[in-house]
Amino acid sequence: MRRWAAKRDDNEAAIVQALELAGWTVVRVSSPGVMDLLCGRQGVIRLLEVKGKHGRLTPAQERLLLRLRAARIQVAVVRTPEEALAAVA
């Protein structure tokens, strides 16, 4: 089984900054196979998967996304700070 070093997307820092300025606490998750950001504010939790401009979900991420949504857990794939703010609204 091949393993790659975890690499954060270049746009992630701007997304985290925008969320924090909007009052969200953001935890960058570093475990493989999990969404990138765990965001919380006033008892509300959101999961975000950050992708670059042309980034795509892996098959494992697609399966996880479907399972989370089936469990009614709010999770979104975002590429920009604006998309991230809309996803947590």
In a domain, 82, yes or no: yes
Output the domain CATH number for residue 45: 3.40.1350.10
**pLDDT digit string, tens, across residues 23-60:** 999 999 987 778 899 999 999 999 999 999 998 998 98
Identify the domain containing residue 84 by its residue range.
12-88
**Domain tally, the chain:** 1
Q: Give the β-pairing of 44-50 and 75-78.
A: parallel
| Its pTM surpasses 0.75 | yes
Say if 1 falls within a structural domain. no
Note whether residue 7 is domain-resident. no
Chain centre to alpha carbon of residue 79: 9
C-alpha distances out from residue 88 to 21, 26, 39, 59, 74, Å: 13, 12, 8, 24, 9
* 30 belongs to a structural domain: yes
Residue 5 falls inside a structural domain: no
Is residue 41 classed as helix, strand or coil in its secondary structure? strand
